[in-house]
Structure formats: structure tokens, C-alpha cells
Amino acid sequence: MKFPAPVSMQWIASLIDASIVGDAAAMATGINEIHKVEAGDLCFVDHPKYYDTCLKSAASFIIINKAVDDRLGKTLLVCDQPFEAYLRIVEHFRPFVPANTLISTTAVIGEGTVVMPGVFIGEQVRIGKHCIIHPNVSIYDHTEIGDHVVVHAGTVLGADAFYYNSKRDRPVWYKQMKSCGRVVLEDHVHIGANCCIDKGVTHDTRIGQGTKIDNLVQVGHDVVIGRNCIIAAQVGIAGATTIGHGVNLWGQVGVSKTLSIGDGANVLAQSGVPSSIEGGKTYFGTPVEEASTKRRELVWVKRIPEMWEKLKRMEGEG
């Protein structure tokens, strides 16, 4: 999330009750979680296991629970509970605003766009020209939709990320990391019925130009899907995954988190993708392998009973 205007470390430190190690006058331009940080961003870390990753990231400013010696040029905001500090910043810049109308007066809807009855459109939503938003679609705050987009009935754009801070030393182990990112649908995207596309935790979940998504698809937080992809029914894509251009994911494919799928990959139905795969190939199985390899394996698996019987006969003859 980018701040409306840059803010100083002194101001942030006052908001979250932190001490500053570094340049108190330095200006942060936004806040991001570790998978999406950019120069000028503020991020947080609250476990020594992740100190090194955070300190070596692109983030310029870090909320941390210990003043470390090697800051690698970062300005630190030191406080007891970095996660709670993150929540306070998000709540300040993106407070929850209850709706009192189905379509917010702050929404911008382009020429020729049709919004069917029962659609909810939240704060600061932008919808382009010549779109069709079918009945009972819910479009959460700050969502951005391009031109010539179709969204079918029952779909939800911009629900919170399924993303939790876990600590076993408190009564409620899992505490939600409040989402302040967006959903962005580029031009000529089609979304089927009853899909759920979650907003980014602090950045954008983005669906590229010309991509078509079937019914009953789940797209997790901060996922980036490229141009001209086909995503068939009941596909599930976990958070912070990057999918290239021209990728096909057929029915009931499951994709794990924080991985990448290369341009032109074709993943056949009911496959599971646990780690990154190259583009330009066809994959099948769980875990996926190139389809030609997996098919040969299946042929041999089917022959196991025959081979077992043959082995027993050989042992008997011996």
C-alpha cells in the first residue's frame, strides 16, 4: 500500500510508540509485506529467523523488536510488538468504513458499463467502460476494473487475504494480518460465477489483460496472473504466486503459495503444483511432472500386479 503522501519516520515512530535507529527525517512512501517490498517501503519483522531476509530486502524501513547492529543502510523502528505496530499503521491509513448504500458515492463507473441489481460496490472503486457486472457481485473497497470486463453473478472481488500471524503464547493463536492491498482486473478480463479473488495483503492481486476465469475459482492474496490465461473451474491458487502469460490451468488444479508458473505452461486437470515450474510445457499429476513422463509412470504402475504375479511364478519355478 502506498501512503497518500510520504511520511517521516518520526511521525510513524510517534504513531506506533517506537524508538528510531537511523534517520528520523527519512520519508516512507508505503508499507508492504516481505514478498512485495520496494524501495521506500516500510515492513515489519518479529522473529530472529526472518531478520536477515528482511534486512536484505528492498525495504528502506523496518519495524523490528530488536535493535540489530548490521542494519545494511536501513532505518529501524524498534518496538515490542512489530505486528501490532503494523496493524496500527494499516488501521490509520485504511480504516474500516461501514457502507450505507449498495453503490458508494465515491465509486467511478465508466461509460456504457451495466451494473445489474443487487451488486455491491465499495469505497474508491473504479470500473472502466463497457463492462457488465452481473447480479449479486460484491466489489470491495479500492478495487480497480478495466474496460470490457465481465464479472458473473455471486463473485466476490477484494475479500481479505487468508493471512494470519501465528503465536502459541496467546489465547487466540491466529491473528489476522489486516489487508490493505487491492484487486486489479485489466481490460477484457472475464470472471465466472461464484469466484473469490482476494485483495493483496499490502499490494495488488492482479488479473492480466484478456484472461478468462471459469466458475468457482479461488485466487489468493497478491497473486499475479498474466495476460491471456485460461483458468478452469474449481482451480485454487494460493497467495503470492506469479503466473505467466498464456498459461492454462484446467479443472481442479491446485497451486501452492509463493511460486511461479512460466509463460505458456499447460497444467492438466486435477494436478497439484507444489513448486515453481517452467513455461512452454504440459504438466500432469500430483506433484506435477511433465505429462509425457507422468503417463509413462502410470503405464508402469498399471503393470505392477502383472509383474508381481510373474515374479511369484519365477520364484516358484526356482
- Residues annotated as catalytic (active site), given as ranges: 221
Query: Amino acid letter at 55?
Result: L
Dihedral angle, C-alpha 123, 84, 196, 103, nearest 10 °? -10
Distance of CA 248 to the CA centre of its chain: 18
C-alpha cell at 251: 479443472
Q: What is the sign of the dihedral through the CA atoms of 141, 203, 197 and 210?
A: positive
DSSP string for residues in 104-171: -TT-EE-TT-EE-TT-EE-TT-EE-SS-EE-TT-EE-TT-EE-SS-EE-TT-EEEEPPS-EEE-TTSS
Coarse DSSP helix, strand, coil percentages of the chain, rounded to the nearest 5 percent: 15, 30, 55
**Angle at the Cα of 139 from the Cα atoms of 134 and 140, rounded to 5 degrees:** 170
**All residues at 6 or more sequence positions from 31 whose CB lies less than 8 Å from its CB, including other chains:** 1, 3, 41, 42, 43, 86, 89, 90, 93, 180, 202
Q: In what order do the strands lie in the sheet with 61-64?
A: 2-8, 27-31, 41-45, 61-64, 75-78, 19-21
Say if residues 74 and 61 touch (Cβ distance below 8 Å).
Answer: yes
